[in-house]
Structure 1
């Protein structure tokens, strides 16, 4: 049973925005149309271009909005803007009291998650984790990524059909990040279920039913992490979480928030990246043919997928003080939503931006992994997993084809597919 206090919390954080966005979407507000309409979910680019046509910073009743590359990159690096902090937002004190009286378990989208903290607290939380994501550390994972990918491809039926999300795209990153955190193999299915339930929390205006499902999953995961961390205190391994536990720099709540963030971030971006990559390459067969002829282009092809079909479509910041930025006056407590999908197609930066081109010379300049202090810690790992997974998939199944329309996830921030039906074709021999 979920306490009624949580319904009040949902209503103050999500319900008001949900009903407000529906009303504003009917009035044509671009922010609301992006977040609360079928078009915003399935084909956001016409709406994004309408924002771009209105200026570099566009005011809506709900937020400032920008699709400008230069402004977005600058804002992500500017300490006048921070991640969400309730103290900076004009929330009535009675609602604040309700929010505090309905505390959430440790999770990726609230402090003390490093995703939702600013320096110097963010620096303290991020520093002990960073060592696990250095180029040398990621390089040591290459053999494991290759073996996991090979195992999954061996399990796919030759001349058969499959849902590539459930059987491949989600399984590669969840296997790697679970091992990095010391989770047993049998827990992977649970974490995928919890991740599916909790990922809508990155969106604004989600339904009470969806929010409640996320809360229940958080509560179950919180208990799991309590037991797992206690076990690691007794019997530490060689994984990231064991190192954090034994170092003693983070308290139990911080350890759980960090673990849940790494678990979610460790597979959510990559599963979307792999799925989006499959769809884009099958939709542009001439590009796939070029990759077969010039496999050295695979790394750049993944960068172009990140640019063209960003796995994370948007991010936001709270205005921490009255300031002028981008030629407009911004007030403390307001918010700015940055369309990463829009910045990645800014014609001032990317020539012919609506063309998918695996040879694009500046594809890597995209902002899909954010920028500044909150840039994605696992970007190198995601790139490496995607390059190897996509290349291996198309090498092992050269006749791979869609078996029906892919189904988008019903999310705005996380942009990917929930189902990707394919005909695999004849399996080719594995490279040796």
Structure 2
């Protein structure tokens, strides 16, 4: 007797349906029941929802390549490329090696004082207001400040940076609005005209654009240096903002876990990993095949678009016990795939972890609980799992603001 569930109707498999974007987890569970890989004909994509199978796809860069595109839309023929995610070895090795040293633990530690000061200032402002929209008041300001500290780029406003970062992924989604392409063009134009000329000395932005990274390996001709810096800068905003917004929502849903974290601040580092598992900021990541390949015994044809459903992998009960519950003590939380794995493990992961740790540390010291004050609105993005609005009341700890 087969353990594979009966096939779902094609339309029911589509992870970009509005109802699936609002609450994707029922669909993810049904997809995992279908087997290791399921073909969705309306999108012409192969969906890989299980933890073990998605990890195998992401780790096998020879069979499942990034150079043809890591998003829904193919990168072939596109004028702008993101060198860190849309290349394969040996090009990827050269590019990654040029920018990896500044992300070593000791180097990132130099950012800690500035990031912790930013967390204090952001929470000060939010507590002074009491009732806030956690997206613009708590989640978005932190990556804006952190990316300025890291890269040296100071955008015209936090909102401009948020819009530009959102456009990076939205421009490559199904039925993309031309406005997103225009916003992406505006971001690159600002970098060329104002951002890079205004960089301070001895910052990551200068290292990349003037010197080609620590090895000098980035090509001086063409857009490689520009797009490498843009990748680091813009990708670091949307993902961390999503993580922080999702975190506040999760602790509103699971107040017992917030109380535990306040009592046990030593758990904050593990809580960050659990939050990434529970609500992966990136719902999906793509690979392409150039020859026939296999996923869990399922034959994938050459020229296929393969979607690792990261949002599903964190809820796979084969990897995580009781996966629909937030548990800040979860022992294997760090095994999540939310930040990628293998050669494409997120370069900025140490910065994202530092930002989230600083914000949670400050919030646990000063906020007793979060209370919903209105309806939260999820972003319609098919790539990012994040909020557009998240109205909450911050109840100060011990009567202090």
TM-score, length of structure 1 as denominator length: 0.82
Is residue 2:64 matched to residue 1:81? Answer: yes
Structure 1 residues 8-407: aligned runs within 5 Å? 27-32=9-14, 34-35=15-16, 37-61=17-41, 62-78=44-60, 79-83=62-66, 85=68, 100=77, 104=79, 106=80, 111-158=81-128, 160-184=130-154, 186-203=156-173, 205-207=174-176, 210=177, 212-228=178-194, 231=197, 237-248=201-212, 249-251=218-220, 252-407=222-377
Q: Distance in 1 between matches of 2:95 and 2:349?
A: 18
Aligned residue for 2:285, secondary structure, equals strand
| In structure 2, distance between residues paired with 1:425 and 1:174 | 25
CA positional deviation for 1:336: 1.3
Note closer, same or farther for the CA distance 1:112–1:38 as it changes in structure 2 (3 Å cut): closer
SS in 1 for 2:228: helix
Question: Structure 2: how far apart are the matches of 1:228 and 1:429?
Answer: 45
Higher percent of residues as helix: 1
For 2:382 and 2:304, locate their aligned partners in 1 and report how far apart those are by CA, in whole Å: 21
Question: Are the aligned partners of 1:80 and 1:319 in contact in 2 as well (CA < 8 Å)?
Answer: yes
Task: Check whether the contact 2:36–2:298 (CA below 8 A) recurs between aligned residues.
Answer: no
Could you say what the CA RMSD is over the residues aligned between the two structures, in angstroms? 2.5
Rate the CA distance shift 1:202–1:135 in 2: closer, same or farther, 3 A. Answer: farther
**CA displacement at 1:178 relative to structure 2:** 2.1
- The 2-side partners of 1:318 and 1:294 are apart by 44
CA distance in structure 2 between the partners assigned to 1:121 and 1:171 by the alignment: 34
Note closer, same or farther for the CA distance 1:196–1:67 as it changes in structure 2 (3 Å cut): closer
Give the Cα separation in 2 of the matches to 1:52 and 1:400: 33
1:179 CA displacement: 2.8
Query: Given the two structures, how large is their TM-score scaled by the length of structure 2?
Result: 0.88
- State the Cα distance separating 1:272 from its structure 2 match: 0.7
The 3-state SS of whatever aligns with 2:331 is coil
Q: 1:399 to 1:222 in 2, by over 3 A?
A: closer
State whether residues 251 and 370 of structure 2, in contact with CA within 8 Å, keep that contact through their aligned partners in structure 1. Answer: no
Residues paired across the two proteins, number: 382
Instruction: Give the Cα–Cα distance (whole angstroms) in 2 for the partners of residues 310 and 230 of structure 1.
Output: 31
Structure 2 unaligned spans of 5+: 1-7, 213-217
Q: Is the CA contact (8 Å cut-off) linking 2:171 and 2:181 kept in structure 1?
A: no
Alpha carbons of structure 1 residues 126 and 45: separation in structure 2 relative to 1, 3 Å: same
Q: Secondary structure at the match of 2:197?
A: helix
Q: Could you tell me how far apart the structure 1 residues matched to 2:219 and 2:187 are?
A: 19
**1:3 counterpart residue number:** none
**Gap change, CA 1:224 and 1:266, over 3 Å in 2:** same
Q: 1:83–1:118: 8 Å Cα contact kept in structure 2? A: yes
Work out whether residues 57 and 308 of structure 2, in 8 Å CA contact, stay in contact via their aligned partners in 1.
no
